[in-house]
C-alpha cells in the first residue's frame, strides 16, 4: 500500500467524518459489545496526571482482536525505509481507545469495528482455514482486495467494505497524529523556537505581500 495514497485518503475524509451505521448488517455483530451505559461522561481529566491505557474506561479489544487489528493496519500502512508500520507507531492502542470511548462518534464505530475484526478472522478461516493473522501476506491481500472499495465491492462484501473504509480512515488518522506519522509527513509545527523572524520572504512574495505589510497586520 503506497504511503502517499494513504495520506490522500486521510486528507479526503478529514473535512467530514460522518457517522456510520451502528450495526453492520451482514457482518455478525453478536460478539460486539454494546455501548456502556452511564450518567454522562464524568468529570474532566486531571491534566497534571499521566494516564495509562484503561485508566479512563475499560478497553474492549480482546487479545485476538488486537492481533487482527495490528495485521490489518500494517497492510494499510506498512513499514518503509523511513518510517515504522502503523502497529509499531502505536495505532492499535489508538484504535483500542477509540472503540472503547463512551462518546457518540466512537460508540457509532464500536459495533462496526469489533464485528469487522471478527469477520476478518472468520473470512480467513472460511477461505484458507486459518485466522487472518496466520495467513500469508498474499492471502491477506486477497481478502482485502474484495473489501477495499465500497463502490466496487460485490454484494456479499458490501458491509465488510463499509468496515474496511472506516478502519482505513481511523488507521490513517491515528498514524499521522503520532510523532512517526508527523515525521513522515515532514510536518514541522509544534516545535519551540528561540526566536521567530516572521514568514519566509519567498512565501510572502508568492502571496504578493511585503514584510512591512505583515508587520502592520
The pLDDT value recorded for residue 195 is 84
The pLDDT value recorded for residue 6 is 53
The pLDDT value recorded for residue 207 is 84
The pLDDT value recorded for residue 205 is 84
Greatest alpha-carbon span in the chain: 70
Alpha-carbon span 113 to 131, nearest angstrom: 17
Intervals of the chain under pLDDT 70? 1-42, 212-217
By residue range, what is the domain housing residue 69?
3-33+56-216
Q: State if pTM tops 0.85.
A: no
Q: With respect to residue 151, please indicate whether it lies within any of the assigned structural domains.
A: yes
Q: With respect to residue 43, please indicate whether it lies within any of the assigned structural domains.
A: no
Ramachandran sector of residue 54 (left: φ over 0; alpha: ψ -120 to 50; beta: rest): left
Is residue 115 within 8 A of residue 32, CB to CB? The reply is yes
Q: With respect to residue 181, please indicate whether it lies within any of the assigned structural domains.
A: yes
The pLDDT value recorded for residue 13 is 46
For 63-77, letters b (16+ CB in 10 Å) and e give eebbbbbbbbbbbbb
The pLDDT value recorded for residue 202 is 84
Instruction: Look over the chain and give the mean of its residue pLDDT values, rounded to a whole number.
Output: 83
Q: With respect to residue 95, please indicate whether it lies within any of the assigned structural domains.
A: yes
Amino acid at each position: 500500500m503506497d504511503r502517499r495514497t494513504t495520506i490522500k485518503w486521510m486528507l479526503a475524509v478529514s473535512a467530514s467524518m460522518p457517522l456510520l451505521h451502528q450495526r453492520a448488517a451482514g457482518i455478525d455483530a453478536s460478539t460486539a459489545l454494546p455501548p456502556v451505559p452511564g450518567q454522562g461522561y464524568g468529570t474532566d481529566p486531571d491534566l497534571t496526571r499521566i494516564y495509562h491505557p484503561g485508566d479512563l474506561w475499560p478497553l474492549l479489544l480482546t487479545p485476538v482482536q488486537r492481533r487482527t487489528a495490528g495485521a490489518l493496519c500494517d497492510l494499510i500502512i506498512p513499514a518503509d525505509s523511513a518510517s515504522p508500520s502503523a502497529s509499531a507507531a502505536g495505532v492499535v492502542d489508538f484504535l483500542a481507545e477509540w472503540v472503547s470511548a463512551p462518546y457518540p462518534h466512537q460508540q457509532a464505530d464500536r459495533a462496526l469495528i469489533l464485528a469487522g475484526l471478527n469477520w476478518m478472522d472468520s473470512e480467513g478461516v472460511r477461505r484458507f482455514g486459518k485466522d487472518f493473522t496466520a495467513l500469508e501476506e498474499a492471502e491477506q491481500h486477497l481478502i482485502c482486495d474484495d473489501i477495499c472499495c465500497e463502490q466496487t465491492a460485490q454484494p456479499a462484501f458490501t458491509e465488510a467494505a463499509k468496515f474496511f473504509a472506516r478502519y482505513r480512515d481511523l488507521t490513517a488518522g491515528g498514524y499521522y497524529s503520532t510523532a512517526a506519522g508527523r515525521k513522515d509527513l515532514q510536518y514541522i509545527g509544534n516545535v519551540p523556537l528561540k526566536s521567530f523572524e516572521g514568514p519566509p520572504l519567498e512565501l510572502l512574495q508568492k502571496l504578493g505581500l511585503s514584510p512591512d505589510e505583515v508587520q502592520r497586520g
